[in-house]
């Protein structure tokens, strides 16, 4: 009986194989998985805890690698309660989507706020704001007054 001998990749080879798998993961996603994606949340003032209405929320889609350009997929605005929600069918040509708080779109908010804290599914995060295609993700924003 013969033994099957599998050559060792070594540490460098394993790192290379892992990198290839990570970079191509999106290429092998199931064509049957739903691409319907919902993003929702609130925008509130960090000091007053009051809702901030009419803040622009933009959903962008990425097609390329790490430094790729993003295409605008949808723009929505918060309502009087500071709430926003949208559901989009992400085209197959996009492998990632991002939620952007574009408060600086309105001069009154650019003058009033210096930025915001982001919360994903109610947990504070230091990065912002990828959403998984085919999922439902909540992003809340606490605006930081100047």
Per-residue pLDDT reduced to its tens digit, 1-50: 555 444 555 555 444 444 444 444 444 445 567 899 999 999 999 999 99
Does some domain include residue 60? Answer: yes
| Cβ–Cβ under 8 Å, residues 95 and 43 | no
SS3 call for 82: coil
Per DSSP bridges, beta strands 113-120 and 123-125 are antiparallel
Q: pLDDT tens for residues 50-78?
A: 999 999 999 999 987 665 678 999 999 99
Give how many domains the chain has, as a whole number: 1
Residue owning tokens 């197959």: 92
Whether 1 maps to a domain, the answer reads no
Residue 25 lies in a domain: no
Is the distance from CB of 99 to CB of 139 less than 8 angstroms? yes
Query: How far apart are alpha carbons 46 and 73 in whole angstroms?
Result: 28
Question: What's 80's domain CATH number?
Answer: 2.60.40.1120
Is 15 inside a domain boundary? no
Residue 3 lies in a domain: no
Domain that holds residue 55: 31-145
């Amino acid at each position: 009986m013969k033994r099957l001998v599998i050559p060792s990749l070594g540490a460098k080879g394993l790192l290379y194989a892992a990198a290839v798998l990570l970079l191509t993961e999106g290429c092998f996603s199931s064509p049957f998985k739903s691409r319907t994606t919902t993003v929702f949340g609130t925008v509130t003032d960090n000091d007053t805890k009051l809702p901030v209405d009419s803040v622009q929320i933009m959903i962008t889609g990425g097609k390329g690698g790490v430094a790729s350009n993003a295409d605008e997929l949808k723009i929505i605005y918060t309502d009087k309660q500071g709430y926003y929600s949208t559901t989009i069918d992400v085209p197959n040509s996009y492998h990632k989507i991002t939620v952007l708080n574009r408060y600086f779109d309105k001069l009154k908010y650019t003058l009033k706020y210096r930025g915001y804290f982001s919360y994903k599914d109610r947990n504070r995060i230091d990065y912002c704001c990828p959403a998984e295609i085919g999922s439902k993700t909540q992003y809340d924003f606490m605006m930081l007054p100047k």
